[in-house]
Amino acid sequence: MRSLMSVRGLALLFAFLGPFLLWGGIYTGLMAYQDEEQAMAAANAGRVLNARVFERDTAATIDRILSEKRPRVLVLGPSYAHTNVRPAVLAARLGLPPSDVALISVPNSMGAHWYAILKYRVFDPGYRPDLVLMVTGLQSMLLTRPLSESSFVNLQVQLPPKGDPLIDAKVRGGASLWWATLREQRGKVRGAFFDRIRDGAVFWASPQDARQALGRVFNDEKIDMRLYNHAMPVVESGSEPAFTPDLLPSPEEGFLGDISALGDAHGAQVAWVRPPMSPTISAERNDVAPEGFQARALAVVSQQGGAYVDLRHLRMAPSMFRNEDHMNSEGSRRFSTALARVVRERGWLGTPDWDPWPVTVEGDAALAPGEGLTIEAATPWADDRGSFAVWLAAESEGATADPPFSLHLDGVPLPVNRGRAIPQHGSTWQQWRVGGSRPASPGPGTIVLRADSSGPGVRVQALALGDPPRQYVLGDAERLWGVRADVLARSPPDEWGPSVELVAAAPPVVPDAERPLDNRPGAVAALRVPQMAFLSDEVLEASTRWSERCSPLRIVEDGKPLNDANVPCEAVASGPGRSCHTAESIQFSASDGSDPARNGRRYELRLAESRACGGELFVYPQDTLRFTVAASFLAPLTRGVRVLTLAGRPLQRRAGELVVRLHAGSRLVFERRIDGRTFHRGDIFLRFEGVFPSDEPWTIELENLSATFYLLRGVTLSERLLNKP
């Protein structure tokens, strides 16, 4: 009887525990499974850097790289940093020797890795780069916990034996990432299962031989990424993302602020750079994050002295990518060029080791007639501060051509550069550049600004030192240059968002749009356009701010534009519907890969409707562009809108007339005719009587009356004349 009861008890026990043991075994096996790629990563864990496997761990390799280079610019990130950035191109575009730029790319790395590398490999040993470029997707920026065993090992080798308290606290958190890891493992097991079914039906070989054969046939370099999303696979093994945006930690929880603050504390500018993905990438894989997370990330980074740059607007062709999210050599060259331009234009590599001039100010910024303001310095102006100059923005009761003040340095009058003294129409604002180069070490300096005794008095809004101005003794850059609203952003191009809308007329018809075809080798033909060489990809790539291959000429096949323009000419023959514009002709392939010279279809030229050339816009002959600006966009201009600035250039050296109109609501503020050749002398400033923003939208209209093509790179409304160098 007892034996029977024992058997029944064991049966009940196993009936209760059996499901848990079964699912526990499945879970253990699932989490322990490693596919070939994962097994290789585990075998090489802690030794992979910049896509190379080293004999020593990555910590020792990083130490060696930094000791050899001692770089001014450090590029750090996961595989994106390695594939998307070409250090030699970046250095050349920044005017630096190659040794000044170092790349550190750890596969599948995230915030914890980067924090550890910067703290223990870079800053603690005493390296002081001026700039740290974090090149990575937003998802990787937000992650706090490694998703694989090899990634944990990659982190461990960067840490001291006792670990790091901040990393320990954040890596232990993030329970949602456990679910992401589980989903990733499930996808790998499912992918391996369906791969065996597929390969077993085709190959009479081992799984390793089958993988090698498939790798040779479907090498990344042989795949037409433009067709990637048009396939209809029977089984999409492993297509589910490892984690969905709702599983990501918030920007406040991650390492964004900690890394930015770490760099700021050691005198390094940390810039987070979000690169573009291939145009063929699916929506769910396009580095998605919850709504508002990017804005919150920007706020977190800015609060800690960092910077955030979203370069996803950079126009990239599918042929510039080796797969959905990693660039090839052509793409990395373009991305590195654009990144260098951002670095230059944001001044992240300004005068190194700038040491502000220690000064004291005596007197009031509001000077009655005859009163003075004294700025005293106990030390000379040193060579490493660059050229000396005084910049001044002042306000008086009347706008005059001559300054209503005098300015002396060490008792010697400083001449006012009258070419930069610009009284503004209808305004009391004045802007002056005073002084200029002077002996490097004349002794302690004393600057005296005195209002003319017979003048109206002066109120100083801003006073800055250096050429260009770097040290603000009074006021700030906004006070000196005036508040501005970039309708078409100048540098770098930003997304306009809902505040600005561009409406354009239909593009003009291209003369002789239908031309004889030149048959080229392979399934390629060409239309000769020697008179339009100034619009070619080659010319524009060499001359535009963002090195764009952006010819606006398009090939139309039976009334429908081909869908992949501006690719490198060597890539035209490797895929259907591609085109490139050289100095002599536009080469193209048919939409279905047939020979354009023999398929009987009609091919003609047309101008692109988008007019986009990176951050610039084409203005076609006989064209009209209208920018509609929301009133809220102009709200910061509390002193009123007084100046419209146009930045651009004609693409041909010929006379051409442009008409510019500005409507504030329903009221026409002004209408001006300008000679387009004026762009050759620099930006065009159009001044008018001050108008204050209302609740109605504003409209800026630009009409081209000539046969000239223009590239427009900046449209700015401002309080006063922007004369910034």
Confidence label for 49 from pLDDT (cuts 50, 70 and 90): confident
Rounded to an integer, the average pLDDT of 360-382 is 88
Q: Name the band, by pLDDT with cuts 50, 70 and 90, for residue 495.
A: very low
Residue 240 is predicted with a pLDDT of: 42
- Do residues 689 and 451 lie in contact, with contact meaning Cβ atoms separated by under 8 Å? no
Distance between CA atoms of residues 246 and 229, nearest Å: 24
Instruction: Identify the weakest region by mean pLDDT among 75-79, 117-121, 130-134, 400-404.
Output: 400-404
Q: What is residue 209's predicted lDDT score, i.e. its pLDDT?
A: 60
- Residue 511 three-state SS: coil
Cβ-contact 289, 245 below 8 angstroms: yes
Residue 15 has pLDDT above 50, yes or no: yes
How is residue 245 annotated by DSSP?
G
At residue 11, the pLDDT reads 60
Residue 272's Cα: distance from chain center in Å?
9
Is a pLDDT exceeding 80 seen at residue 230? no
Kindly state the average pLDDT of the residues 367-383: 86
Per the structure block, which two tokens stand in for 612? Answer: 């986009």
Asked if residue 248 has pLDDT above 70, the reply is yes
**What pLDDT is stored for residue 324 in this prediction?**
84
Mean pLDDT along residues 88-112: 89
Q: Which amino acid, residue 342?
A: V
Amino acid 221: pLDDT: 46
Which one of 3-12, 98-107, 225-234 scores highest in mean pLDDT? Answer: 98-107
HEC per residue, 564-575: ECCCCHHHHHHC
What tokens appear for 382 in the block?
Answer: 């040193």
User: What residues are paired with 409 via a beta bridge?
Assistant: 412, 447
What is the C-alpha separation between 488 and 313, in angstroms, rounded?
Answer: 14
Helices (H), 135-266: 138-142, 149-156, 165-172, 175-202, 207-217, 256-265
Residue-level pLDDT at 137:
93
Q: Are 562 and 554 in contact (CB under 8 A)?
A: yes
Separation of alpha carbons 225 and 278, rounded Å: 8
Is 24 a residue whose pLDDT tops 60? no
pLDDT in tens, 417-464: 543 333 343 445 566 656 554 444 445 678 888 988 888 888 888 888
**Of 352 and 245, more confident:** 245
- 691-715 pLDDT, tens per residue? 888 788 999 999 999 999 999 988 9
pLDDT of residue 304: 92
Sorting pLDDT into bands at 50, 70 and 90, what band is 210? Answer: low
Q: What pLDDT is stored for residue 220 in this prediction?
A: 46
Instruction: With residue 87 as reference, give the H or E element that holds it.
Output: helix 87-94
Q: Among the ranges 480-494, 616-630, 642-656, which has the highest mean pLDDT value?
A: 616-630
What pLDDT is attached to residue 238?
A: 37
Summarize pLDDT for 249-273 with one digit per residue, the tens.
899 999 999 999 999 999 999 999 9
Q: What percent of the chain has pLDDT over 70?
A: 75
- pLDDT at position 434 is 63
Query: What is the distance, to the nearest Å, from the Cα of residue 104 to the centroid of all Cα atoms in its chain?
Result: 20
Q: With both helix axes pointing from N to C terminus, report the angle between 175-202 and 2-32 in degrees, rounded to the nearest 10.
A: 80
Q: 28 or 525: whose pLDDT is higher?
A: 525
Structure tokens at 178: 């456990």
- Rounded to an integer, the average pLDDT of 341-357 is 75
Cα separation, 608 vs 606, in Å, equals: 7
How crowded is the C-beta side of 562, counted as CA atoms within 13 Å?
32
Name the pLDDT band for 662 (thresholds 50, 70, 90): very high
3-state helix, strand, coil in the chain (%, to 5): 35, 25, 40
pLDDT-based confidence at residue 322 (cuts at 50, 70, 90) = confident
List the beta bridge partners of residue 76. 104, 134
Q: What is the pLDDT of residue 637?
A: 82
pLDDT above 50 (res 501): yes
What average pLDDT is seen over the chain? 79
pTM, 2 dp = 0.59
Q: How many Å from the N-terminal Cα to the C-terminal Cα in the chain?
A: 101
pLDDT at 286: 87
Does an H or E element contain 273, and which? strand 269-274
pLDDT in tens, 531-582: 999 999 988 887 776 667 889 999 999 999 998 898 888 889 888 999 999 9
37, 39, 28: which is closest to 238 by C-alpha?
37
Share of the chain above pLDDT 90, in %: 33
